[in-house]
Amino acid sequence: MQKFMIVGGNRLKGIIRTSGSKNATLPLLAACILNAGKSVIHEAPRLKDVAVMQDLLMYLGAKVNCDRNTIEVDTSSIQSVEISEDLMRRMRASNLVLGALLGRFGRVRTSYPGGCQIGSRPMNLHLKGLKELGAKIQEKFGYITAEAERLRGADIHLDLPSVGATENILMAAVLAEGVTTIRNAAKEPEIVDLQNFLNKMGARIVGAGTDTIKIEGVTQGDLKPAVHTVIPDRIEAGTHLVAAAITEGDVTVTNVIPEHLEPLLAKLREANVSFTVGEDQIKVQGNGKIKAVDIKTMSYPGFPTDMQPQMMALLSLADGTSIITETIFENRFKHVGEMRRMGADIKVEGQSAIVKGVEKLSGAYIEASDLRAGAALVLAALAAEDGTVIENVAHIDRGYERLELKYNALGARIIRVHN
Ligand code: EPU
């Protein structure tokens, strides 16, 4: 277990570059299965979750080559269509290979991903969609088996706009016979990136980014190698913007698509954070006069659940009381207890956290329970008066490429301690 020791109170200053998006890269890697050939992905972030997805592809029999931020995947040699329990346990997003394996091989078997720290996260919508495409699904002894000689296009209406279910069904439908329509689809930018990659490969998809996606099925012979550059990580960029605001810093975050950050920027504006938006960069000049704002997490283009903990860290120092309501995951307030140890005044009532701004936070011995909770604790520690120790930073490494190096280059003082 590694930990961060953070000396707070330093204003961050300088330029920080955002890496490629984790949540776009994971489905892109899964999509490589479909073309039974070579694909190249540039700007892939060097993260633990991305490494697990590469391991998973190699476990299935693919050849994977990684050179800095470029990953080459050759899936022509895939032999297996079974995902082990171990890989499923290491990363929930392993379930993203289901649709592509089923589409290409007509069969997939995987262990059921259990609940995780942030919620129960069932798979019912993924499976319902695959069933509507004609797959026979069996759920036995904690394993799911899906089979279909060839999937058939269908009209699928999702009960809620699940990101993972939209991606899995989209990938499965690429090689289905006929047209598939996904209604009430998730609209996240990562889904648009997946559509763009698959279309480069020869798929025929329109509508990603809206709530209706249409996929005209093609055959394996229509698919060809594709080269793609991943979009910037909007959640990483958002975390940096809040880091600048919470330390009253002067930071330019580069490699961003400002439109993807608009749900966060709207709230930062309301909270009185000063920033200027360029074509592919955003400069924050923290003025220390944060105003309380209410936030409700929603699917894109609503406020992202993946930015809720970081925003809570900022609002814990605001002037006034903010109400933060989490509607996506049922267990995403685990950072609250840790922030309270740092002097924050936060009370949880059901789905909402009532955050009364305090004058200052102080250092404490705390623990990261999950990725975004961990990021939020780093931000709180950067603003705290004295030293903080954060245990279990492995969670943070799942989604941020050496966060301590990036922030130290801006003047933070973070030491990674190997136990
Ligand atoms: N849901 C169902 N049934 C399903 C699928 C989802 O009820 O079959 C529910 C979930 O339990 C949850 C809601 O739908 O309450 C939304 O879940 P969604 O499927 O959209 O989430 P996901 O695909 O599992 C992705 C990101 C998460 C991010 C969410 C929401 C990836 C790899 N993960 O998860 O990212 O929080 O969308 O935006 O893309 C993170 O990066 O820290 C992270 C957790």
Relative to the CA of 123, which ligand 1 atom is closest?
8
Q: Whose CA is nearest to atom 43 of ligand 1?
A: 306
Rounded to the nearest angstrom, the distance between the alpha carbon of 385 and the centre of ligand 1 is: 35
pLDDT at 92: 87
pLDDT at 368: 97
Q: Could you write out the DSSP letters of every residue in 13-53?
A: EEEEE--B-HHHHHHHHHHGGGGTSEEEEES----HHHHHH
Q: Whose CA is nearest to atom 23 of ligand 1?
A: 164
Rounded to the nearest angstrom, the distance between the alpha carbon of 11 and the centre of ligand 1 is: 34
3-state helix, strand, coil in the chain (%, to 5): 35, 30, 35
Rounded to the nearest angstrom, the distance between the alpha carbon of 329 and the centre of ligand 1 is: 8
Rounded to the nearest angstrom, the distance between the alpha carbon of 92 and the centre of ligand 1 is: 10
Mutation pick for ligand 1 pocket among 127, 163, 236, 397 (CB with most ligand atoms within 8 Å) = 163
Relative to the CA of 167, which ligand 1 atom is closest?
23
CA distance 365 to 6: 10
Q: Is 305 in the pocket of ligand 1 (CB under 6 A)?
A: yes
Taking only the tens place, the pLDDT of each residue in 75-130 is: 999 999 999 888 888 888 999 999 999 999 999 999 887 657 888 788 999 999 99
pLDDT at 233: 98
Question: In the chain, which stretches have pLDDT less than 70?
Answer: 114-115
Q: Is 317 in the pocket of ligand 1 (CB under 6 A)?
A: no
Q: Is 131 in the pocket of ligand 1 (CB under 6 A)?
A: no
Helix (H/G/I), strand (E/B), else coil: 101: helix
Token pair of 50, please?
Answer: 């991305």
Q: Is 83 in the pocket of ligand 1 (CB under 6 A)?
A: no
pTM (2 d.p.): 0.97
Amino acid at 161: P
* Alpha carbon of residue 371 to chain centroid: 10
Q: Is 122 in the pocket of ligand 1 (CB under 6 A)?
A: yes
Rg of the chain on CA atoms, in Å: 21
Mutation pick for ligand 1 pocket among 328, 332, 400, 403 (CB with most ligand atoms within 8 Å) = 328
Pairing outcome for strands 321-325 and 295-296? parallel
Taking only the tens place, the pLDDT of each residue in 278-310 is: 999 999 998 878 999 999 999 999 999 999 999
Rounded to the nearest angstrom, the distance between the alpha carbon of 358 and the centre of ligand 1 is: 32
Give the Å distances, CA to CA, from 267 to 62, 90, 199, 371.
43, 34, 34, 22
Rounded to the nearest angstrom, the distance between the alpha carbon of 121 and the centre of ligand 1 is: 7
**Residue numbers annotated as active site:** 116
